[in-house]
Structure 1
Amino acid sequence: MSLTDFRTLGRTGLRVSPLALGTMTFGDPSWGADEATSTEILSRYLAAGGNFVDTANVYMGGRAEEVLGAYLGKHPGLRDRLVIASKFALSMDPGDPNNGGTGRKAIRRHVDESLGRLGTDYLDIYWQHNWDPHTPVEETVSTLDDLVRQGKVRYVGLSDTPAWAVARMATIAEWRGWTPFAAIQVEYNLLERTSEGELFGAARELGLGVIPWSPLANGMLTGKYTRDNQSPAGAGRGAFVGRHLHERTFQVLDALRRIADTLGTTVASVALAWVRQQPMVSSTIIGARTVGQLEANLASLDVVLSAEQLAELDGLTTPDLNFPAAFLNAFGFPAQWGTTTINGVRANA
């Protein structure tokens, strides 16, 4: 597989690369990448055939969008070949209650500021960065529809939003003839699979694409963490992996290393391949602080896991899902189906 094996996003006609380039690290060398390195990473991704770049207004306080905008300004004609996504909801001014959130005032301000930093007159995808419990969903959805009708945005999506809110917002958009949602963004990797419950169910029913972020669990699944070295050098987001530092994770890493050795690849490539091969996934966001990290992530496209390897990793990381998932599997479905097989599935299978 390559970056040019494009996939359509949800029920839309938008074609995106199987790996999207995330830009959270762009523009700040303190824990990310300086502008020169960020530009080199972007250039290498595009040269390999990638077309999907994901950013946000708050990444590095706006610097990530500025770095991307500067690159586009130096390469006239490139903009329309790319799928550029940005986000709204997080505050750029913590002292102003109307700067953050998903209300009309905040959205309209943030989209114009993002367009200015990016040096473009439209966004291909505009994501709600996360759920806002203080704004009526009708206000958010109608504002996004306005932006699409004005030509400032092509498609809209929902990131880090509860499944009930995804379902309600998508249904309101459908019933009122407003712009439909194209996809959801979720944290999804071998160590965080709870999205497979309600969020994947909503996406499946509503025809939404699924875009995982943090497919390597903030670096935990790169292979640099071991039982003997739980604070490796160069762990840029090491503060986020503490919840994974336990024996179950190291058993998963043992399996990843064994599979990687069998395939002649790396632990990270196997972990990324597992995410990419999940049927609900449209495109996976990868991030990099160095060109070497980007190259390593792109190498995962050459890795194809067998059904047996996928099943082994699935078994090691089966998530505990919220009620009523376990109840339905243990009692509800058997009581419905008895000993019969329906759509190829048996109860308790």
Structure 2
Amino acid sequence: MHRRTLVAGTVSAAVAAAAPAGASTRKIGMSDVERLEEKLAAVVASDHKRGGQLDIEKRAADLADSALNLQNSGSATHRVRSRLYATAASFRSSAMWAAIDGRRFQDAIAHMREAQALAELSGDQTIKFRIWSHAGSLYRHMGRPADARAANDVARSQHITRRDPMFASLGLARQMAIQGAAHERRSLPRTFDQAYEAMNRADRDAFRPLWLLAFYDKAELHSLALTAHLAAGDWSTAEYHAHRCLAVLRPHMQRSRAIATSRLAQAQLAQGDVDTATGTAMNVTAEAATHHPRVSRMLQEFGAALRATAPGSASVSTWTEHTAAWRTNA
């Protein structure tokens, strides 16, 4: 609680410092907030296309600061101020996710602390869920499953998960990924079924924030199941979920396609299907393979496993030539 007070104080001080001296008072309206929210849509779209990039992180952080500057530029109703804080928190949360995706974990932690303070100021349940859910993913990627579970539990404790089963479904799906990281293999099918059932109960026409609509669907549920079973060493089930994910993945989810394809190759290789796995890995685009930090790391791990599994094979030669071409054209 003491740390949260300190962070909130830091944000408040930053807002105060950003206020232009002698600025004339004007009325801040919902139209001002909506213009900022339109920019959030562009940040989310960039993330799905080129996730993990530093420029996306910086753009989102700059827009969070713009939302805070707007807070101090005039008078506003309580409703408008709450939406502004929620928008600032959304931008900071997007910066956090870009840093997670780019494996810049210390930067992600800094964004997380700012986002948590802004979310508290907004009182918005949906953005609180997003930030704590991202925190769970952050700690999972850092190899800290106990902290990941605790953070995800905070997300799942938000009232929004009881009002809207779609949020409950996402919370369960990310819990499943954490269970996989903790090698709790027997828990995975039940958690998947619960997440799937909650998704099917959700009202398709309910209003939901842009960031949730843009990515969470059955493809993402299968993607998180793929992540969980791969981490738990259940290769055949991981492969099943990979195929299900790729079959229904929306076209704009280019980053997600590269990640799912890389994980599918890992699952196939772990089952000894060397040639098929190599062909799958070669389907990852050169752009994703060379510019997305998470994809690059997975493919490096795939190459090392391939050489260990089938040293001197034609597949190793093919993969070596293929990756050399990536580096040449990067």
Q: TM-score, normalised by structure 2?
A: 0.27
Question: Greater helix share, 1 or 2?
Answer: 2
Question: Greater strand share, 1 or 2?
Answer: 1
Q: TM-score, normalised by structure 1?
A: 0.26
Higher relative contact order (CA 8 A, sep 6+): 1
